[in-house]
Amino acid sequence: MKICVLPGDGIGPEVVGCAISVLKAVTDQLEFAEGGIGQAAYLECGSYLPDETVDLMRSCDSTLFGAVTTPDAPDYKSPVLRFRKELDLYANVRPVKTFARTTPAGPVDVVIVRENSEGMYTQNEVFDDSGVTTMRRVTRRACERIVTFAIDYALKNGRGTICCVHKANVLRASDGLFLSVFKEKMASEGKALRAEDQLVDSAGMHLVTDPGRFDMIVTLNLYGDVLSDVAAGVAGGLGFAPSGNIGDKHSVFEPAHGSAPDIAGKGRANPTAAILSGAMMLRHLGMPAHAQEIERTIASVYQSGHLTYDLGGRHGSESFTECVVRSLKSRESL
């Protein structure tokens, strides 16, 4: 299988390099082809996402992406939003799980499925004399396909309850549509699952005070973006949160964190989110045993006391990855 690799900016190349070392340690079935994205691509060819990169993404079985730095340029358009749109990656999946540090509120193990194609992220902002109006789009089609995706994911991955997170008490028409589609679909396609719903403000509080009450969340674009970082913070930090952008034909896996310019080049980034994104990619490509092996190994490396800098430990990106690779190689082959 051919994987497009987009290291990007900041800590992106560092953590993606670590993820590739781990992928190579579990399988020799992957072939990697690198593409340009972000500031380096802009300096080289004047585009934050060259057309050749999009073509490469389309031609590969999946993509592993690092991160890009957002420049302070007025004409800047996010390459991430562009590839999500061009490849129709309508579902953003963010599993958040406690690996190393248990919070006072207890362990976290929640999958957040976020609508990835519309909502507040249509970048449609209209200026007038008194301010700015941001257009937020919610369509029945997008609601239906994200809820169907979430149900399918829950059934395939052993999740029992889906909580729809919304603000339908205020945004009655738009979030109301999302909630009613959720109820319809759960009553038909999701009959085997338990359906719940919560207002986004209350869900934010519960993710902090009682994260164990959530099994899976399906929500709109902006709420999913915010809540997944809240959940990641509760579970140990951004260095632990992988994600997948998934459509019917294409997929892109990336750590949920950004390019972290403050620690770039220092070898201090926690590569766990990128490595777990690689594991998610393997599961998506039909290699669940390999994915599970990586997840189990990461958990056991942390349990045996190998902690990264963000947890107050002594491991930088490379030495932590070496521990994971050594541990994988010492196990029986898959």
Binding interface with ligand ATP (CB under 6 A): 10-11, 15, 67, 69-70, 238-239, 257-263, 269-270, 273, 310
Question: By C-beta, is 17 or 176 nearer to ligand ATP?
Answer: 17
In the complex, minimum distance from the CB of residue 239 to ligand ATP, in angstroms, rounded to a whole number: 4
Distance (Å, whole) CA 81 – CA 231: 22
153: annotated active-site residue: no
Q: How far is the CB of 113 from ligand ATP (least distance, A)?
A: 20
Q: How many CB atoms lie within 10 A of CB 43?
A: 9
DSSP three-state, residue 184: helix
Closest CA to 147 of 171, 164, 167, 161: 164
- The Cα 160–Cα 93 span in angstroms is 16
Checking DSSP bridges between strand 62-67 and strand 251-255, what pairing results, if any? parallel
61 is catalytic: no
Q: Which of 42, 48, 90, 121 is catalytic?
A: 121
Q: Which is nearer to ligand ATP, 219 or 308 (CB)?
A: 308
Which residue's C-beta sits nearest to ligand ATP? Answer: 258
The residue annotated as part of the active site, out of 197, 215, 225, 310, is 225
Nearer to ligand ATP, 11 or 186 (CB): 11
List the catalytic residue out of 55, 152, 201, 248.
201
Report the nearest approach of ligand ATP to the CB of residue 143 (Å).
Answer: 28
> C-beta of 103: minimal distance to ligand ATP in Å?
17
Active site annotation includes 90: no
Task: Quote the Cα angle for 214-215-218, to 5°.
Answer: 85
Q: Report how far residue 98's alpha carbon sits from residue 118's, in angstroms, rounded to the nearest whole number.
A: 30
Per DSSP (E only), the strands in 167-301 are 194-199, 216-219, 242-246, 251-255
Contact criterion met (CB below 8 Å) for 194 and 161: yes
Residue of 175, 229, 302, 309 with catalytic role = 229
167 is catalytic: yes
Nearer to ligand ATP, 269 or 325 (CB): 269
* Active site amino acids: 121, 167, 201, 225, 229
